[in-house]
Chains A and B, each alone.
Chain A
Amino acid sequence: AAGVIQSPRHLIKEKRETATLKCYPIPRHDTVYWYQQGPGQDPQFLISFYEKMQSDKGSIPDRFSAQQFSDYHSELNMSSLELGDSALYFCASSLVLAGGPYEQYFGPGTRLTVT
């Protein structure tokens, strides 16, 4: 079965640079979530999109923005990167319509290292 795809898997950036993370949800899933997992930490919710509209917002810095496109893929844009942004970024997708919400399926994550 198709899974959530994230790209790139690894990314190294310098301070003050920008980064774009991409997420391709499971086909027919209508909701995408972004989570940030710092070293040794639990995943923290950043933002979610349902049917291309922002549905919820968590502890996402103002330097970050995200959107969901017409093909349901999502991108997380991160600017003015700081050392503290180094983390594993997960995307998850789920189906909310048709009797949902159903469980969230996670991608393998993008490991961002800021130097």
Chain B
Amino acid sequence: GNSVTQMEGPVTLSEEAFLTINCTYTATGYPSLFWYVQYPGEGLQLLLKATKADDKGSNKGFEATYRKETTSFHLEKGSVQVSDSAVYFCALRGAPIQGAQKLVFGQGTRLTINP
């Protein structure tokens, strides 16, 4: 079945540092890939997405590129801020021909940014 493996946390960085959170996946066909962010006490917010190979999703300074050859969707940001502190989830949605549209999540990575 489909699965997502995410870089284990927690990750602690200083403000303005470069961020990478690794995410790799296992799936048949051509899934869609997502990054969701969960701030303390809140629900899941879609951060960015990519629906086909070589697509780059970007939002709020975050970027991730859908790499089919390495089955990866690593999240990056060039200069993090204290307000980026949250839990980040990589997620996969199977190709539409597979019928089920549920999201499969990685384990989540807790990010803390210190001033």
Residues of A within 8 A of B (CB): 31, 33, 35, 41-45, 48, 55-56, 58, 90, 92, 94, 96, 101, 103-109
Contacts and interface: CB of A to CB of B under 8 A. Distances in A.
B102 A48 contact: yes
* Secondary structure dominating the interface of A: strand
20 contacts: A42-B89, A45-B102, A48-B102, A55-B99, A55-B100, A55-B101, A56-B100, A56-B102, A90-B43, A90-B44, A92-B44, A96-B101, A101-B96, A101-B101, A103-B34, A104-B46, A104-B93, A105-B46, A106-B45, A106-B46
Interface string B63-79: 00000000000000000
B43 A104 contact: no
A71 B27 CA distance: 34
A58 B13 CA distance: 36
Contacts of B49: 103
A107 B43 contact: yes
Contacts of A101: 93, 96, 101
Interface in B90-115: 93, 96, 99-108
A55 to B, nearest CB: 7
A31 B102 CA distance: 11
Contacts of B104: 45
A96 B104 CA distance: 18
Contacts of A31: 101
A43 B99 contact: no
B10 to A, nearest CB: 11
Given A42-B106, A42-B108, A101-B96, A106 B101 contact: no
Contact of B105 (A42, A48, A103): A42
